[in-house]
């Protein structure tokens, strides 16, 4: 057990029951020409969290704790992509359309893969998810139960979309959730701040927040 001086109050960290979830650090969100860019976003600002996210992953790996990676992506025939998702908004390319990194947000295409700097090691779990939340329509919940995980540390993108959705899903399932504030980012800095404020408000209504250094120190 270790105490992390987190927001909004101390987080009692039990590494033996913890896992790290790295959400959607995919080329489609972080590199030009992918899904994030087709929605009109400046994707380059997400690249700034890569070094801190790498340190967090290294800390979990060094301690032999589970590192789980997720990818938001769809089957090539789009059978798991609701039309309401595909037709939403006015993107320059829709999910499944051919882009510079292959078909946008499709499993197996270059753009849907995790960026090289944070690539999963052999044996680490990679969850492909059709939704914003990582529990919806995936084996994640069963897998965490089998491993006896009770605490989840969160990193990845984007803070207010897939990270927040997954933290809320996890919170409702009884996990204690801790967000690594410098290992998560949004295309909209004000949304990152608001998401962290919302989730930690009201006595950690969704979860806690701390820096990568605080979390890695607590693992050692
Ligand atoms: N658009 C946006 O901010 N995010 C997503 O669509 N997916 C994730 O957050 N991974």
Placement of tokens 């803070």 in the chain: 159
Residue 160: C-alpha distances to residues 1, 77, 179 (Å): 29, 28, 12
Index of the ligand 1 atom closest to the CA of residue 26: 10
Q: Buried b vs exposed e over 131-154: b needs ≥16 C-beta within 10 Å?
A: bbbbbeebebeeebeeeebebbbb
Q: What is the distance between the alpha carbons of residues 111 and 114, in angstroms, rounded to a whole number?
A: 8
Q: What is the ipTM of this complex?
A: 0.99
Tens digits of per-residue pLDDT, 103-160? 999 999 999 999 999 999 999 999 999 999 999 999 999 999 999 999 999 999 999 9
- Model-level pTM? 0.98
176-219: per-residue pLDDT in tens? 999 999 999 999 999 999 999 999 999 999 999 999 999 999 99
Q: How far is the centre of ligand 1, averaged over its atoms, from the C-alpha of 1 (Å)?
A: 33
Residue of 73, 81, 129, 192 marked active site: 129
193 phi and psi angles, rounded to 5 deg:
-60, -45
Q: What is the spatial distance between Cα 118 and Cα 16, in angstroms, rounded to a whole number?
A: 23
Residues near 210 by beta carbon (within 8 Å), at least 6 away in sequence: 4, 5, 6, 7, 11, 178, 179, 180, 181
Instruction: For residue 186, give the ligand 1 atom closest to its CA.
Output: 3
- Burial grade of 219 (CB within 10 A; 0-12, 13-18, 19 or more): middle
Contact 106/98 with Cβ under 8 angstroms?
no
């Amino acid at each position: 057990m270790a105490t992390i001086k987190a927001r909004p109050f101390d987080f009692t960290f039990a590494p033996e029951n913890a896992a790290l979830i790295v959400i959607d650090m995919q080329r489609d969100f972080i590199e030009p020409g992918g899904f994030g860019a087709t929605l009109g976003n400046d994707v380059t600002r997400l690249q700034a969290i890569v070094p801190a996210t790498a340190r967090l992953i290294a800390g979990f790996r060094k301690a032999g704790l589970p590192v789980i990676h997720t990818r938001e992506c769809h089957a090539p025939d789009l059978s798991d992509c609701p039309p309401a998702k595909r037709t939403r908004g006015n993107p320059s390319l829709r999910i499944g359309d051919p882009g510079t990194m292959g078909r946008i947000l499709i499993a197996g295409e270059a753009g849907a893969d995790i960026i090289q700097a944070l690539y999963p090691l052999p044996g680490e779990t990679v969850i492909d998810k059709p939704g914003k939340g990582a529990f919806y329509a995936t084996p994640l919940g069963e897998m965490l139960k089998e491993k006896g995980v009770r605490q989840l540390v969160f990193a990845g993108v984007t803070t207010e979309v897939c990270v927040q959705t997954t933290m809320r899903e996890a919170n409702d399932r009884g996990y204690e959730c801790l967000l690594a504030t410098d290992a998560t980012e949004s295309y909209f800095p004000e949304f990152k701040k608001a998401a962290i404020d919302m989730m930690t408000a009201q006595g950690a209504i969704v979860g806690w927040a701390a820096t990568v250094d605080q979390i890695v120190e607590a693992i050692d």
